Amino acid sequence: MNSRVKILVYNALFLLFCVGLFLFLWYAPPETTARLPHDPDHERFMTMKKKEAEKFCIECHGAEGVSPLPEDHPPKYRCLFCHKRE
């Protein structure tokens, strides 16, 4: 193959990759995870770093807390990885 054909093939492959990536992202499902509420109970966690704030989640959301997590909930030590702050 001469260099001109190679360049056209590489450009076509790159274009196909970009279109495929765009379509993948376009049809991705919407975010369904609840956000961290901005209420008086959660106010103090809004200014903390994520790892620091996550240490306190289990106090209220543990097995005997005010609002316990369901049994099938993903790992309980990375709360703010999914539950974004508002």
Q: What tens digit of pLDDT does each residue of 6-49 get?
A: 999 999 999 999 999 999 999 999 988 888 888 998 998 898 89
- Counting beta carbons within 10 angstroms of the beta carbon of residue 33, is it exposed (0 to 12), middle (13 to 18) or buried (19 or more)? exposed
> Residue 84 — φ and ψ, nearest 5°?
-70, 155
62 or 25, which is more confident? 25
Check pLDDT > 80 for residue 86: no
Q: How far apart are CA 65 and CA 59, in angstroms?
A: 6
Q: How far apart are CA 72 and CA 64, in angstroms?
A: 16
Supply the pLDDT for residue 40. Answer: 92
Q: How far apart are CA 82 and CA 37, in angstroms?
A: 13
pLDDT band, residue 58 (cuts 50/70/90):
confident
